[in-house]
């Protein structure tokens, strides 16, 4: 590789490093402004301990893509989770009873139960049609 290209590459890498550092600083400042007590070093340590996975969805994310899930009263960071799970948790207001109710609802309306209901309705519809056809035959036979 020519010297000129190596110098360009080093300059690019230096600038990219500065950009990544600035992004990390912005994230930390944003978290602190919202009462989330975590440093970038803590974030990286947690990220690597979790192997980049959201503990709720199980999906893997790149460094910086997971968000700190925290207790809104204390600012304590519980784990790093993906944006979707963070949104869902936030919509439930961190209320455990809501999470339990949601789980109960999902289990009660399980797709298997839904499909059973559809099959039952289909069977009932066929039976009603059979009775209707039989009634028509009886009427026609009586004429």
In a domain, 136, yes or no: no
In a domain, 111, yes or no: no
Q: Could you list the residue range(s) of the whole structural domain that residue 74 is in?
A: 3-93
Rounded percentage of the chain residues whose pLDDT exceeds 70: 85
**120/125 Cα distance (integer angstroms):** 9
**75/78 Cα distance (integer angstroms):** 9
Which backbone phi and psi does 31 adopt, to 5 degrees?
Answer: -60, -45
In a domain, 60, yes or no: yes
In a domain, 38, yes or no: yes
Contact 67, 84 (CB under 8 A): no
* Mean pLDDT to the nearest integer, 119-131: 79
Is pLDDT of 1 > 80? no
In a domain, 62, yes or no: yes
In a domain, 128, yes or no: no
For β-strands 67-70 and 77-81, DSSP reports them as antiparallel
Q: Give how many domains the chain has, as a whole number.
A: 1
In a domain, 126, yes or no: no
Is pLDDT of 48 > 90? yes
Mean per-residue pLDDT over the chain, rounded? 82
CATH number of the domain within which 86 lies: 3.40.1800.10
In a domain, 50, yes or no: yes
């Amino acid at each position: 590789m020519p010297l000129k290209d190596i110098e360009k590459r080093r300059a690019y890498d230096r600038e990219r490093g500065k950009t990544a550092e600035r992004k990390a600083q912005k994230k930390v400042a944003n978290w602190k402004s919202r009462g989330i007590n975590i440093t970038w070093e803590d974030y990286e340590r947690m990220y690597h301990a979790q192997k980049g996975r959201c503990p709720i969805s199980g999906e893997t994310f790149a460094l910086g893509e997971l968000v700190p899930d925290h207790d809104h009263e204390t600012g304590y960071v519980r784990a790093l989770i993906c944006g979707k799970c963070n949104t869902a948790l936030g919509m439930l207001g961190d209320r455990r009873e809501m999470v339990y109710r949601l789980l109960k609802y999902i289990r009660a309306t399980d797709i298997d139960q839904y499909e059973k209901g559809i099959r039952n309705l289909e069977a009932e519809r066929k039976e009603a049609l059979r009775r209707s056809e039989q009634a028509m035959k009886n009427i026609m036979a009586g004429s």
